[in-house]
Structure formats: structure tokens, C-alpha cells
């Protein structure tokens, strides 16, 4: 069973009230459209993935590295998009999975079940539906004796049809011959566009096997407005945090915590309130992340203690037993086992050796206005409070730096460096 995927993303997102295209907004650190692309890439049966968009958005997709872009022109509805795709492309796959760019699928099992039923029953059209307590705004599945008879858009529903709770998610699995039927879709009188949902009636008229599958996993919801996007964000965050808790991660207050979809967090990690964990973060067993800390694209080793009010920036590796105090910022640095960076310090573009202590208020001065430079501090060093380390500079093993020093030259091992103006007293 060879499948091609088609993602419909030709809308102008006028209801979203943003200059940024809706499908490029992020949910838990991932672009909205990428949820479906990353899911589809997991299937060996899916040989290709096509994105249908409009002329205005084409450059956005190309600049971001997306491939297999088709243009819908004119913009004339979902049915029109598929009909145009059929007329412009060689239809070779056995089946075509139709998804929506602004309707992310969070659970792979949803598509697994859709494919399995379609394959087992040799269906031509399989529509993914789901039950909602409040179906307002969605097309309704008209089901009689467990058979799908039609999909009626909200605007076209009569009073009785509006009471139906089973809605159309916008996800279809179509056989090759069912896809070709899209050319027979007629323009909807009220919406003045071609609706893919009309394919149900056309398929039945041609004696094709038509059915539906009910989504039994996370709810699939569209994001037509900022409010709906926030609803999706809340849904996804709940799912991420529940998954982590099931693996032994503890939270002080999960409602105040943000965690990116790709975070990898081991058991026995404890996360306090108001923590943000974004983009490619790994936290190993036994570490404590204190309140109001912000972690991004970094690795935290075992039994580390971070924060509160700490910022760990991209490219940072903290090895085991590292202590990062409050109001400390670490950027693109490697801190070896046992390092302590006390409060109000900045460490950037640095390598710090085993068991070294960085005193409060210490700054690595890594930028001269044009270039970034590296600071290297060896094992078992002690950097006194309120010191400035002007890179490039190396402080060797077991060296000491006196408090308030401005270090501009390399410091040899087993030595004390003091670089500050001599204290003087003047009578007044």
C-alpha cells in the first residue's frame, strides 16, 4: 500500500490576525505545520509529502527548506485544491492522505488506525471523525446505520444536523480513483467554493466503498484563531507533562511550566514553578530546576542544581553535579563535574574544569565588539567575586583570582592573580 500525503495550506489566515503565516507559528517549540510533516515522515508507506499553498506563501515555504510545493490558484476551496493537484501531477500512489496545515495531529496511533481500517476493508474513502461536546463551527458526519452518508458544513446544517456531535477533522484517506473524482466536485452555493467533503456523496454515487473512522486519541482541533491556537498549546502541554510524569519526572506546579515537544527529561528530575524548557533540552536524572529558570538547547547532567532565575542558553553542556545560582546566565559553555557558578554571574564561550568555583558577580568578557573569544579555566580553580575575565585568556589548574580583579593575561597553575587598582585614601 503506497501512500502519498497532501497537506492543504493555502489559506491566508485572515482570522488569525497576525502578519506571520499561521502555519509557521509554534506550538511547544515546533511549527504548526511540522507536526504533521514529522508524523508523516515516520511512515514507510508514505513515499512523498506535498504541500499545497498559495502564491503569497510559496516563498515562505521555500525559504524555510520545505519541498514538493504546489500552488493553488485560484483559491477556491479544499475540493478545488485537490482538483488542481490532480490536474498538475501524476497520480501514481495507491492512496492519498489529506491533512490540514493548521490542524496538527499529535498521536501517531490516530493515523495508524485510519490506515489499518482502510487497508483491511479496502475502502476508497475513509474520513477521520471525532466526537466533540461542542461541535460548533465544524462539518458534521451524517451517519445512518453506521454508514457515512454525507458531510454537511456548519453553515449548511439544519436544526437537527447541528445537534450531531460527530465532526469532520478534515483528514481523509482516499484511494487513487477516489482522488480523481475530485474533478467532479461542484461549487457550493453558499460558500462559493469547491468542498472536499462533497466527495462523500460523489463516491457513493459511483458505488465506491465509503466509511469513517472515529479518533480515539488526543482531540484533533484546528487553529483558525489565536484563541484556538492557545487551546492547542494547552492541550499539547498537558500531554507532554503527563507523559513526563508517567516516566518519573516531578513538577511543583505543572500549570505554570512550559516544556518543548522535543525535551528529553530523565526520571527523578524535579521542576519547580514557572520554568521554561525550550528546544532540544536534555536533563539527566536527579537534577533540580528551580523557579523562573529558562533553559534552551542545552544539556544538563545528573544531580545538577539550577536557579532560581537562571538562564541556560544554547550550546551549553553542564556535566554532573554542577551548581548554577540565582540570576546566572550561561551561554555556549562546557562546565565540568562539580563546577559552581554563584549568583549574578555571566559565563559565555567558556570551558571550566572540574570542581572550579566561580564567585558571585563574575563576568567572562567574551565579546570585543566584533568577535567572540573563549575563556578556559582549569580544574580546582577559585575565581573571586566580582571578577572580570577578559577573553581570550586561560586560567590554569588550581589557580586563584582575587576578588574584584580584571584578568587580561593567562594565569599559571598554583598561583594567585590579583589585578586591581591599589586602594588609596584622600583627606576631604
C-alpha cell at 183: 474533478
Peptide bond into 74 cis (omega under 30): yes
* Listed residue (167, 173, 197, 169) closest to 185, CA to CA: 197
Cα separation of the two ends of the chain: 92
DSSP code at position 266: -
Query: DSSP per residue over 200-254, as a string?
Result: HHHHHHTT--EEEEE--SSPP---SSHHHHHHHHHHHHHHHHHHHHHTT-EES-G
How far is 331 from 96, CA to CA, in rounded Å?
A: 46
C-alpha cell at 95: 492512496
How far is 240 from 243, CA to CA, in rounded Å?
A: 5
How far is 317 from 159, CA to CA, in rounded Å?
A: 60
Category of 344 on φ-ψ map: left (φ > 0), alpha (ψ -120 to 50) or beta: left
C-alpha cell at 360: 558571585
Q: Which of 50, 231, 280, 343 is catalytic?
A: 343
Rounded (5°) CA angle 384-385-388: 85
Is residue 280 among the annotated active site residues? no
How far is 74 from 194, CA to CA, in rounded Å?
A: 11
How far is 201 from 285, CA to CA, in rounded Å?
A: 56
Which residues are part of the catalytic machinery? 343
Amino acid at each position: 500500500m503506497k501512500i502519498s500525503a497532501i497537506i492543504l495550506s493555502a489559506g491566508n489566515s485572515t482570522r488569525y490576525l497576525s502578519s506571520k503565516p499561521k502555519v509557521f507559528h509554534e506550538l511547544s517549540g515546533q511549527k504548526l505545520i511540522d507536526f504533521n510533516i514529522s508524523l508523516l515522515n515516520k511512515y514507510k508507506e508514505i513515499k512523498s509529502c506535498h504541500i499545497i499553498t498559495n502564491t503569497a506563501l510559496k516563498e515562505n515555504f521555500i525559504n524555510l527548506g520545505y519541498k514538493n510545493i504546489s500552488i493553488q490558484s485560484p483559491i477556491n476551496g479544499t475540493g478545488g485544491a485537490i482538483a488542481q493537484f490532480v490536474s498538475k501531477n501524476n497520480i501514481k500512489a495507491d492512496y492519498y492522505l489529506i491533512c490540514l496545515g493548521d490542524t496538527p495531529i499529535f498521536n501517531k496511533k490516530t493515523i495508524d488506525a485510519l490506515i489499518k481500517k482502510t487497508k483491511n476493508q479496502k475502502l476508497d474513502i475513509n474520513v477521520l471523525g471525532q466526537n466533540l461536546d461542542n461541535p460548533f463551527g465544524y462539518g458534521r458526519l451524517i451517519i445512518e446505520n453506521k454508514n457515512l452518508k454525507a458531510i454537511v458544513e456548519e453553515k449548511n446544517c439544519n436544526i437537527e444536523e447541528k445537534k450531531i456531535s460527530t465532526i469532520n477533522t478534515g483528514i481523509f484517506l482516499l484511494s487513487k480513483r477516489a482522488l480523481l473524482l475530485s474533478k467532479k466536485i461542484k461549487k457550493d452555493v453558499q460558500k462559493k467554493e469547491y468542498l472536499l467533503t462533497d466527495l462523500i456523496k460523489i463516491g457513493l454515487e459511483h458505488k465506491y466503498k465509503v466509511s469513517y473512522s472515529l479518533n480515539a486519541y488526543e482531540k484533533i482541533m484546528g487553529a483558525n484563531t489565536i484563541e484556538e491556537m492557545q487551546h492547542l498549546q494547552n492541550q499539547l502541554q498537558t500531554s507532554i507533562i503527563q507523559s513526563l510524569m508517567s516516566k518519573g519526572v516531578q513538577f511543583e506546579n505543572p500549570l505554570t511550566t512550559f516544556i518543548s515537544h522535543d525535551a528529553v527529561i530523565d526520571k527523578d528530575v524535579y521542576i519547580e514553578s514557572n520554568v521554561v524548557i525550550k528546544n532540544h533540552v536534555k536533563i539527566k536524572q536527579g537534577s533540580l530546576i528551580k523557579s523562573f529558570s529558562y533553559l534552551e538547547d542545552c544539556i544538563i547532567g545528573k544531580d545538577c542544581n539550577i536557579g532560581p532565575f537562571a538562564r541556560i542558553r544554547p550550546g551549553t553542556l553542564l556535566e554532573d553535579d554542577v551548581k548554577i545560582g540565582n540570576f546566572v546566565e550561561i551561554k555556549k559553555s562546557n562546565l565540568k563535574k562539580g563546577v559552581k557558578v554563584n549568583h549574578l554571574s555571566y559565563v559565555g564561550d567558556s570551558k571550566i574544569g572540574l570542581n572550579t568555583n566561580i564567585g558571585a558577580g563574575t563576568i567572562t568578557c567574551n565579546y570585543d565588539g566584533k568577535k567572540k573569544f573563549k575563556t578556559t579555566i582549569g580544574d580546582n580553580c577559585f575565581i573571586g567575586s566580582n571578577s572580570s575575565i577578559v577573553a581570550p585568556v586561560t586560567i590554569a589548574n588550581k589557580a586563584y583570582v582575587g576578588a574584584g580583579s580584571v584578568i587580561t593575561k593567562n594565569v599559571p597553575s598554583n598561583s594567585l592573580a590579583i589585578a586591581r587598582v591599589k586602594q588609596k585614601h584622600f583627606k576631604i
